[in-house]
Amino acid sequence: MENVSASTKKMIIFQLEDEEYAVPVNQIGSIERLLPITRVPQTALFVKGVINLRGVVIPVIDLRLRFGMTDIELNENNRIIIAQINEAEVGLIVDSANDVIDIPADQIEPAPEVIGSVDADYIEGVAKLEDRLLILLDLEKVLSLQDINELKSLEG
């Protein structure tokens, strides 16, 4: 039998509006409940501010706003996914974080030109699992190096 781990990708699934997205587990440090967010003036609209997570100041962005979706009132279902992107720790606000699954590599297809409201540049591919369509995000492209450097300056 072939090595299963070589042919699957372990992904964290989260939701924005009614779409499901997936990011590689190895880029995720933790998934947190909403924490108090300190606003930072003169930052991009999608930058919500910074949080203090166990003594570490981490910039937080709202993925809905990053993707041009409607802003919503945050509630107890929202989660902050702490991700490593281009050597920076960044908190990503999502509507909910559902589960961790193994996606068989042969279920992943290249990204179509347009998916919903998310820019195709951010998408690594799509995975069709039974009745679910998961959009695989490329976190390195969701935030440019310029964005990351601006966020790093917020860390104090």
Q: How many domains does the chain have?
A: 1
The confidence band for 6, taking pLDDT boundaries of 50, 70 and 90, is low
Strands 47-53, 8-16: pairing kind: unpaired
- Encode pLDDT of 110-141 as tens digits: 877 655 556 677 888 999 888 889 999 999 88
Give dist(CA 22, CA 16) in Å, integer: 11
pLDDT at position 115: 53
pLDDT tens figures, 76-123: 999 999 999 888 899 999 999 989 999 999 999 987 765 555 667 788
Domain CATH for 130: 2.40.50.180
pTM: 0.88
| Segments forming the whole domain that contains residue 99 | 5-154
Q: What confidence tens digit (pLDDT) does each residue in 10-68 have?
A: 999 999 999 999 999 999 999 999 999 999 998 888 999 999 999 999 999 999 999 88
The span from the CA of 128 to the CA of 61, in Å, is 28
Max CA separation in the chain (angstroms): 56
